[in-house]
Amino acid sequence: MICLTEIFRIFLGVLAVSCSTSLPPGEGQENTSSREAVILIDCQTILFLEDGREANLALVSTGRADYDTPTGTFEVLYRHRAPVSSSYGVRMPYWLCIHPSGQIGLHQTFLSGTNSLGTRKSHGCVRLGEITARWSYYWLRVGSTVRVQEESPRRVI
């Protein structure tokens, strides 16, 4: 059985174009829609939902062995444009903190390119490609729900 990751890889080129041309409304514009992100660890993907409908989809890199990304329901607590990790000394562009410890969040991968996306290589954070990180930073709001699930739901068609 093919993991959804393989299917998502096919659509990434289309999504990259879609993401870059459909930036979210400006900060001053009021928007009452419900926005959330769902991270599926088994497929190394993130699904963005607006009012329950798919708004975006991309590959991610979650925690490697001994650095698991915590599962559960979180919310965006705060965000910073380009902080430096106090633990690892690396810049984490488009930081969205989701854990009360301040140590776990979503951010742009600091590895060159996107070669680590689709594999578990982080120290617990959810790493995003540059376009997805920038898009999600402006699209998700403080207070938006972020669900991290070990397995993707299985549907019978």
Q: Which residue segment(s) compose the domain that 123 sits in?
A: 4-21+35-149
- Domain assignment of residue 154, yes or no: no
pLDDT of residue 86: 79
pLDDT (tens digit, 9 = 90+) per residue, 38-87? 999 999 999 999 999 999 999 999 999 999 999 999 999 999 998 888 77
pLDDT (tens digit, 9 = 90+) per residue, 8-32? 444 444 344 344 444 454 454 456 7
pLDDT of residue 74: 98
Rounded Cα distance between 90 and 116, Å, is 16
Rounded Cα distance between 126 and 57, Å, is 14
Task: Look up the CATH number of the domain holding residue 89.
Answer: 2.40.440.10
* Confidence label for 151 from pLDDT (cuts 50, 70 and 90): confident
- Domain assignment of residue 78, yes or no: yes
- Domain assignment of residue 52, yes or no: yes
pLDDT of residue 58: 97
- Domain assignment of residue 28, yes or no: no
pLDDT of residue 139: 98
For residue 146, the tally of other CB atoms under 10 A from its CB is 24
H/E stretch holding 97 reads strand 95-97
Q: Report yes or no: 78 and 134 within 8 Å, Cβ to Cβ.
A: no
pLDDT of residue 10: 45
Beta bridge partners of 78: 97
pLDDT (tens digit, 9 = 90+) per residue, 89-103? 788 899 999 999 999
Give residue 153's identity as a one-letter amino acid code.
P
**What are 32's two structure tokens?**
């009452």
pLDDT (tens digit, 9 = 90+) per residue, 102-137? 999 999 997 655 578 999 999 999 999 999 999 999
> Domain tally for the chain?
1
SS3 call for 75: strand
Sequence-distant (≥ 6) Cβ neighbours of residue 92 within 8 angstroms: 82, 83, 84, 85, 105, 107, 108, 110, 125
pLDDT of residue 42: 95
- Domain assignment of residue 157, yes or no: no
